[in-house]
Every structure is written in C-alpha cells, then in structure tokens.
Amino acid sequence: MIDPVAHIPPLPPLIVEGVADDARREVLRQDKLARQGRFGGTHVMPGGPDDARLTVLVEEVGEVAEWVNEERQAPGELSSGALYEELIQVAACAIAWATAVLEDRAGIADTRDTG
C-alpha cells in the first residue's frame, strides 16, 4: 500500500506547541467572556448542555467557512492572520467543551477562580 502522505513533512513540534499555546490562551479569554455573560456561559461550565456548546463551536466553524468562501471569491485579498484567529477560536471551543466533558465525567465541581 502506498502511503498517501509520505511526501508531506511532519508538522514542526515548536509550531504545534505555539498553536496549542495560542488555543490555551483563547480558552482562558473565552472563559473570562463567558463568565461576563457572553456565549450564555454554557460552553465552558461543567454540566452545561452539549447543544449550547455545539452551537458555539459550529458558529466558529461557520466563520472559518465564511473566510474560505470569501477567499475563493477574492484570492489573496484576505488576511491569513484572520483565518488563523478563527481556527484558534474553533480549537478553543473544542478544548473548552472537551475539558467540561472530562470535568463532568470526573464529577468535578466548577470551583475555578472567577476573579
């Protein structure tokens, strides 16, 4: 069997770490905003409804799709930085949801510092 990705170099670990750090910072930013009443606060809270979390995640994916569609209409006119930021927001929403799922599974109460 031929490896279809053999010609593609592996992702550079330092860049992956940087992206993960950006996503972590975005999780913390979104957590702060959620506690201020944005997003309904449900996507980061243990015990929150998955449908609310999905709504936030899909909205972020929709913003990535919008960027891609606009880029198709006007190649090279959009900032790749804007795409990166949207992708980081998608990752952060998914990380926050996955974290809440683990917290729910472990029965961890929401005792994080809200200050």
- Tens of pLDDT along 67-109? 999 999 988 888 889 999 999 999 999 998 898 888 877 876 5
Cβ burial of 9 (10 Å; 0-12, 13-18, 19+) is exposed
**What percentage of residues in the chain have a pLDDT greater than 90?**
41
Q: How far apart are the first and last CA of the chain?
A: 55
Name the pTM for this structure. 0.80
Decide if 57 contacts 97 (C-beta within 8 A): yes
